[in-house]
């Protein structure tokens, strides 16, 4: 079990971003938002949650806009409500344009022990095209400042397939990031999502051949530096994987609080798997009384195999075969025919021990998942 906390404010929204983010007011109402988060959690815990929380992930928005004191108070309050005896990872997403060493030091003292820095690129021209508020030098200074503040676990978020980006430029971004020796890099392709500025005003992106060259060159670069891919877009040294994200990709349960946060809970005795989401607009979230849950969806039996595999097959190592009945409440025989067909095509490893895509299956993951669409 993990906990996701969403903070919805940013300095400004990037043109590619489809996350629940909103331009921050001149003064962020930290005290009111903390009260709302705790009221939200209390309303969700009418039936006490006895499972220990193993990781907390604070996403956004730009969580680094909040003060270290905000997080100190949050963690103290969470400790009174949840079992944190097995908590060993607290991740904070940070924007290089909103932090300096003193602030990083405050975050570390508050109990945060892992940072995810939204660098996206070290190239100033690409950062400008992406609408980022920081420059390449700001990004480098942020990584250095985080390390100086005592953070030993740092993820650097990088995007590729950027407007007018060449393979050489994409690899140069990776080389710059790898020089910091942080142990974890998230490297994912820019995609144009609905309800974004880029969707209504599409930039010129690299063609398919260039994208393929970028992908091949980037993967080779990451491997040469000793990082292993453990998820479609996540690379790390052994032991540096993100605990919260691993739980998510393994179809585990996670609580969620904060404007627009999404959670998932399983009740094996009732044979229920519930996804739920919170009120999106910060003003509405702050002003509601009690639960901020805006909606729920019960996963029907027919939908559970695809939901399970959408997550687990993103993992390079896959998952134990036994986790399918454990996490879905369904017998493995439910998907036997599809598994056997994909195994024969060389796209899937499916035996008594493990479910995982092959290298070929990784390249054709959408085709693999299509076999499980109800």
Quickly state the pLDDT bin for 161 (edges 50, 70, 90).
very high
Residue 12 pLDDT: 86
pLDDT at 91 over 70: yes
Question: DSSP string spanning 150-167?
Answer: T--EEEEEEEES-TT--H
Render pLDDT for 176-185 as a digit per residue (tens, 0 to 9): 999 999 999 9
Q: What is the mean pLDDT of residues 275-288?
A: 96
Render pLDDT for 301-349 as a digit per residue (tens, 0 to 9): 999 999 999 999 999 999 999 999 999 999 999 999 999 999 999 999 9
Q: What's the rounded Cα separation, in Å, for the pair 111 and 41?
A: 20
3-state secondary structure 61-74: CCHHHCCHHHHHHH
Render pLDDT for 26-51 as a digit per residue (tens, 0 to 9): 999 999 999 999 999 999 997 667 89
Residue 48 pLDDT: 67
Render pLDDT for 233-272 as a digit per residue (tens, 0 to 9): 999 999 999 999 999 999 999 999 999 999 999 999 999 9
Q: What is the SS3 assignment for 226?
A: coil
Quickly state the pLDDT bin for 92 (edges 50, 70, 90).
very high
What residues form DSSP beta bridges with 23? 10
Q: What is the SS3 assignment for 176?
A: helix
CA distances from 307 to 96, 191, 298, 312 (A): 34, 22, 12, 9
Quickly state the pLDDT bin for 56 (edges 50, 70, 90).
very high
pLDDT at 300 over 90: yes
Q: What's the rounded Cα separation, in Å, for the pair 38 and 65?
A: 19
Mean pLDDT, the chain, rounded, equals: 94
User: End-to-end distance of the chain based on CA atoms, in angstroms?
Assistant: 28
Angle (CA) 365-366-369 rounded to 5° is 85
Residue 118 pLDDT: 93
Length of the chain: 374
Q: What's the rounded Cα separation, in Å, for the pair 117 and 324?
A: 33
Least confident stretch, 61-75, 131-145, 209-223: 131-145
Quickly state the pLDDT bin for 289 (edges 50, 70, 90).
confident
Q: What is the mean pLDDT of residues 70-75?
A: 98
Quickly state the pLDDT bin for 192 (edges 50, 70, 90).
confident
Residues 6+ apart with CB under 8 A from 288: 36, 279
Q: What is the SS3 assignment for 41?
A: helix
Residue 333 pLDDT: 96
Q: What would the two tokens of residue 365 be?
A: 């993951």
Q: What is the mean pLDDT of residues 54-62?
A: 96
Residue 166 pLDDT: 97
| Strand 319-320, strand 354-357: pairing | antiparallel
Question: What domains lie within the chain, and their CATH numbers?
Answer: 2-247 (3.20.20.70), 302-374 (1.10.10.920)
What residues form DSSP beta bridges with 273? 266
Phi-psi region at 239: left, alpha or beta (left = phi > 0; alpha = psi -120 to 50): left
| Nearest Cα residue to 59 out of 259, 264, 281 | 259
pLDDT at 296 over 80: yes
Q: What would the two tokens of residue 349 be?
A: 């490893």
CA distances from 37 to 74, 182, 317 (A): 9, 31, 35
pLDDT at 109 over 90: yes
Q: What is the SS3 assignment for 93?
A: strand
Phi-psi region at 161: left, alpha or beta (left = phi > 0; alpha = psi -120 to 50): left
| Nearest Cα residue to 33 out of 277, 254, 279 | 279
| Nearest Cα residue to 19 out of 174, 194, 186 | 194
Q: What's the rounded Cα separation, in Å, for the pair 237 and 221?
A: 14
Question: DSSP string spanning 180-212?
Answer: T--EEEEEEE----TTSHHHHS---PPPHHHHH
| Nearest Cα residue to 229 out of 176, 188, 169 | 188
- Answer yes or no: are the C-beta atoms of 254 and 2 closer than 8 Å: yes
């Amino acid at each position: 079990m993990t906990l996701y906390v969403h903070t919805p404010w940013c300095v400004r929204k990037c043109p590619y971003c489809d996350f629940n983010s909103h331009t921050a007011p001149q003064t962020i109402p930290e005290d009111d938002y903390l009260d709302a988060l705790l009221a939200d959690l209390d309303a969700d815990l009418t039936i006490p949650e006895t499972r220990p929380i193993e990781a907390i992930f604070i996403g956004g928005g730009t969580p680094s806009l909040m003060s270290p004191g905000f997080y100190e108070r949050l963690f103290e309050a969470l400790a009174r409500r949840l079992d944190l005896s097995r908590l060993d990872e607290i991740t904070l997403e940070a924007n290089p344009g909103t932090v300096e060493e003193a602030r990083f030091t405050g975050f570390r003292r508050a109990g945060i022990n892992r940072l995810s820095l939204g660098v996206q690129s070290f190239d100033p021209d690409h950062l400008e095209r992406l609408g980022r508020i920081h420059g390449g030098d700001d990004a480098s200074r942020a990584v250095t400042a985080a390390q100086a503040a005592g953070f030993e676990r740092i993820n650097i978020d990088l995007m590729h397939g950027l407007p007018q980006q060449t393979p050489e430029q994409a690899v140069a971004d990776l080389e710059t990031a790898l020089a910091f020796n942080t142990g974890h890099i998230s490297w994912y392709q820019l995609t144009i999502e609905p309800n974004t500025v880029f969707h209504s005003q599409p930039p010129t992106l690299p063609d398919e051949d260039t994208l393929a060259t970028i992908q091949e060159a980037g993967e080779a670069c990451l491997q040469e530096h000793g990082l292993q891919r453990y998820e479609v877009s996540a690379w790390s040294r052994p032991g540096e994987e993100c605990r919260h994200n691993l739980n998510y990709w393994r179809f585990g349960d996670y609580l969620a609080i904060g404007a627009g946060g999404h959670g998932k809970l399983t009740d094996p005795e009732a044979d229920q798997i519930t996804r739920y989401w919170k009120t999106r607009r910060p003003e509405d979230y702050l002003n509601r009384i009690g639960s901020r849950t805006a909606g729920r969806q019960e996963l029907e039996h027919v939908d559970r195999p695809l939901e399970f595999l959408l997550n687990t097959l993103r993992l390079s190592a896959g998952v134990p075969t036994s986790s399918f009945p454990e996490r879905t409440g369904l017998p493995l025989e439910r998907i036997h025919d599809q598994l056997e067909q994909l195994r024969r095509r060389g796209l899937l490893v499916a035996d008594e021990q493990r479910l995982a895509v092959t290298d070929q299956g990784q390249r054709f993951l959408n085709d693999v998942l299509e076999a499980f669409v109800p």
